Structure 1
Amino acid sequence: MLSLRLARGSHPLVLLRRSLVAVAAAGASFLLLSALGFAASHPADPDGALARLLWCVVPLAATVQLARSVARADPSTRPGAGFAAAGLGPARLALLAGAVTATACAAGSALALLAFLHLRGDVGGSWLLWAGSGAADRALGGDRPLPLVGAVTLVAVVPVVAGAASAAGLWPRQPGAGAEARTVRPALPTVATGPLTPPPHRAASALPWGVALTTAGLALGAYAGRGAHPSSGALVSLSGRFGGSAPEVVGGWALTVAGLILAGPGLVHGCGRLLAAGRPGPLRLLAGRMLQQEAGLIGRPVGVLCAVASGLYGALRLHEAAHGRPGAHSFGPLTDLGVALVLMCAFTAVLNAAMEARSARRRTTDALLRLGASARLLRGAAVTRGVALLLLLAPVVWGVAQLTTMPFTHR
C-alpha cells in the first residue's frame, strides 16, 4: 500500500523511469519465453535450446542494471527524517525499493506472457503479420503445448532477480572501509570555499584491471577462434559447438565486456584529466574537473554502453562476413528485440546517471552562478564533456570490436 501511495505521488519523470523498467522486464521475459517455446518445439535440439536460453542472460543483465539504476535514483528510497520516525530505516527502504522494482517488473512480465500466448495462438488468433505468416509458430513453438511450470518459472525470473538486485544495491553496509562505496552521490568541491580541485579519486584505480581483463578476453577469443569462420546458419554466426559458437569464444567475449565495464570509471576520469591538462581556460577546466568528480557515478554506465556498442558493431561485422555483403539479411525479430532492449537499457542507464550527476552538482552550479559564471559557460562545459567522452570512447569501442572479430573475418 505504501508503494502504491508513493507511486501515485511521484514525479512524472520517476513514473517514466519505472515504466521503462516495466518495458525492459517485458522484453526480457518475452525472450525467455521464446527460448522455452523453441525448446518445446525442438526436443531433438537441446544444445540450440540451451544456447538460446543462455543468450537471454544478456538482456536479463541489462534489465537488472537498469532496474538498479532507477531504484538508486528513486527519491522515495532515500533516507529521511520522516521515514526514520515512521520506522522506515535504510534497511526497510532498501526492501521497499526492491518491492517497487519487483512490482514494476511483474507487471511487465505479465504483459509479456499475454503477448507470448497471443502470438502463439493460445488465446486467440493474432493480427500481427509476423504471426499470421507462420513465423511465430516456428519461432515460439506454437505447434507444441507450452509447459506451464516452465513458463511460470521463467516469468518470475525477471521480477525476483531485479527486485533482489535493487534491494541488495541499496542495502546499508557497515561503516568502515566500504563506507565510500555505498555513497550514491560523490562529494563535489565547494567553489565558494576553495579552488575547484578534485580530491584523490579511486575511479582510476580500476583502469589497469579493466585493461588487463579486456586484453585477456581478446587473447582468449583470438586463440579459441583460430580456424573458425562465420556461418550464416549459426546462432552467433560462428562455426563450432554450443549453438554455433565455441564456449571459449563466448568466455573471451565475456572477459572483454567485463573489462570494458570495469575500465569505464577510469576512462571517464582520464578523459577529465586530459581536458584539464596544460593551461586550460575556464571552459576546459570546469569540464575536466567535473568529469573527474563524476567518474565514479557515470563511469560504470558509460562502460556498459561502450561494451554494448562494441558488441553490436562486432555482431554486424560477423553478420556481414557470414552473408558476404553488408545488410544482406536481418538478424530476425527475436534478435532485433534483444538488441533494441539492451540498447534501450544501456542508454537509459547513462541518461539516468547523468541526471543524478546533475542533481549532485546543483550546489556547485548555484555557487558558480553566484560568483558570476554565465549560464552559457555551464552549457558549454556540459557540451564539452559530452564531446570529449565521445571522441575518447569511440576509438576504444571501434578498436575493441575490430580486435574481437578479426580472428573470424580474416582467413
Structure 2
Amino acid sequence: MLALRLARGTHPLVLLRRLFVAAAAAGTGFLVLGALGHAAAHPDAAGDSLARLLWCAVPLAATTQLAVSVARTDPAARLQRGMTAAGLGPLRLTLLAATSTALSCLLGILLSLAAFLSLRSNLGGISAGAGAGSPSVDAGLLGAGHPVPLVGALMLLSVIPLTAATATAFSLRPRTEPGALDLALPAATAAPSGLPWGVALTAAGLAIEAYTSPAAGTPGGLLPLPGRLFVSPPGVLIGWALAAFGLVLAGPGLVYLSGQLLCAGRPGALRLLSGRVLQEESHRLGRPIGVLCAVASAGYAATAVYEAAPSRPLGPFTAVGATVILACVSASALTAAWESRTARAHTTAALRRLGASASVFHRATALRTLALLLVLGPLTWTVAEMATLPLVR
C-alpha cells in the first residue's frame, strides 16, 4: 500500500521510468507467452519450443538491468529525513524498492497477457479462427486454436517480476562501508580492476568462436537465432557469450581509460574536469555502457549473419526481442548517466558558486561523450567484425 501511495505522489519523470520498466516487462512477457503458444501448437517440436523459451532469457536480463537502474535512481529508495523515525530504515526501503519494481513488472505482464489473448482471438470468448479473414500465420506463431495452460503461463510470467525484484533488492541492499557517512572524505578514483580480465574473456570468446565455427559453405553453417538454437554449434554460442561478458566486465576500466586519456599531457581546466568525472564515475557508468557495447556488437554481427542468409528472414518475435533488448540497454545507460549527474549535484553547485557558466558544463559533457565514443566505438566495431568473420567467410 505504501508503494502505491508513493507512486501517486512521485515526479512525472519517475513515473515515466517506471512505465518504461512496465513496457519492457510487457515485451518480455509477450515473448514468453509466444514460446508457450508455439509449444501448445506444436507438441512434436519440443526442442524448438524450448529454444524459443531459452532465448527469452536475454530480454529478461535486459529488463532486469533496466529495473535495477530505475530503482537506483528512484527517490523513494533513498533514506530520507524522517523515514527512520517512521520505522522505514535502510532494509525496509530496500524492500519498498523491490515491491515497486515488482508492481511495475506485474503491470507489464498483465498487459502482455491481455495482448496475447486478444491476438489469439480468445479475449471475450471469441474462438480462434472464427474470422474468415484471420491470417494463418497467427495460428503458427501464437498457437491460436490450441489451449494454453493458464497455470503454466502464470508461473512462467511470474519469473519476470520475481527476477527483477530480487535483483533490485540485491543491488540496493544496505551496506556498511568505511567513511560512507563522512561527506568530508574525497571521492575515490581508484582504477577498476576488471579491464585485463574483460579483455582476456573477450579474446577467449572470439578464439572459441573461430575454432568451433563451421567451415565455409557447410549447409546450416550460419548462426541461427531464436527458434533454431539447438542446430547452432555450441562453441559459437559460448564464444559469443564470453565475448559479450568480457565487454561488460571491461566496461568500467574502459570508461576509466577514457578519463585518463582526457587528463593526459598538460590538460586545461575543461579536459581535467571531464577526465576526473569519467574516472570517478567509471564504476557507476562502466557496466551499463559495457552492456550497451556488447549488445551493439552482437546486433552488428547478427545483422551481418542474416544478410549472408537471405533465406532466413527475421521473424516478428526476433524483432520484438531485439527491440526490447536495445531499448532496455539504451535506457539503462541513460539512467546511469542521470544517476551520475545527480551524484555530482553538490560539486556542480560549488562550481557554479565559483563562477562556472552553464556552457562549461555543456562542453564538458560533450567532451566526455566524444572521449567515450573514440575509445568504445572502434573497440565495439572490432569485436563485432572479428565475431562475424568466422560465420560469413
Q: TM-score, normalised by structure 2?
A: 0.92
AA of the residue aligned to 1:335? T
Partner of 2:370: 387
Q: Using the alignment, how far apart are the partners of 2:67 and 2:208 within structure 1?
A: 32
CA contact (8 A) 2:121 2:127 kept: yes
**Corresponding residue for residue 119 of structure 1:** 119
Secondary structure of 1:16 counterpart: helix
Give the conservation status (yes or no) of the 8 Å contact 1:101–1:166. yes
Say whether the 8 Å CA contact 1:231–1:322 is kept in structure 2.
no
1:400 corresponding residue in structure 2: 383
Q: Show CA shifts across 1:180-201 (max 9, x none).
A: 9xx8x9x8997xxxxxxx7442
**Mind listing any 5+ residue stretches in structure 2 that lack a counterpart?**
none
**2:121·2:144 contact (CA, 8 Å) conserved in 1?**
yes
- 8 Å contact from structure 1 (residues 102, 159) kept in 2: yes
Q: 1:133 to 1:220 in 2, by over 3 A?
A: same
Aligned partner (choices 258, 265, 268) of residue 278 of structure 1:
265
| Displacement over 6 Å in runs of 4+ | 187-190
1:374 Cα shift?
2.0
* CA distance in structure 2 between the aligned counterparts of 1:406 and 1:189, rounded to whole angstroms: 50
CA RMSD, aligned part only?
Answer: 2.6
What TM-score does the superposition give when structure 1 sets the normalisation length?
Answer: 0.88
1:217 equivalent among 205, 209, 214: 205
In the TM superposition, 1:11-410 aligns within 5 A as 11-123=11-123, 124=126, 132-173=134-175, 175=176, 199-203=188-192, 205-227=193-215, 231=220, 235-236=224-225, 242-323=229-310, 330-410=313-393
1:396 positional shift: 1.1
Question: Per the alignment, in what secondary structure is the counterpart of residue 84 of structure 1?
Answer: coil
Q: Matches of 1:278 and 1:188 in 2, distance apart?
A: 29
* Cα drift, residue 329 of structure 1: 7.1
Q: CA deviation at 1:242?
A: 4.3
The DSSP-based 3-state class of the residue aligned with 1:278 is coil
C-alpha change, 1:164 and 1:91, in structure 2 (3 Å) is same
**Kept after mapping to 1: 8 A contact 2:189/2:280:** no
* Counterparts in 2 of 1:267 and 1:125: CA distance versus 1, 3 Å: farther
- Number of aligned residue pairs: 387
What is the alpha-carbon distance in structure 1 between the residues aligned to residue 333 and residue 185 of structure 2?
A: 23
Report sequence identity in percent.
51
| Residue 140 of structure 1: how far off its partner (Å) | 1.1
Long gaps (5+) in structure 1: 191-197
Aligned equivalents of 2:138 and 2:161: distance in 1? 25
State the 1:279 CA deviation: 1.1
The 10-residue stretch of structure 1 (53-62 or 362-371) with the greater mean CA deviation from structure 2: 362-371
Aligned counterparts of 2:302 and 2:267: Cα–Cα separation in 1: 40
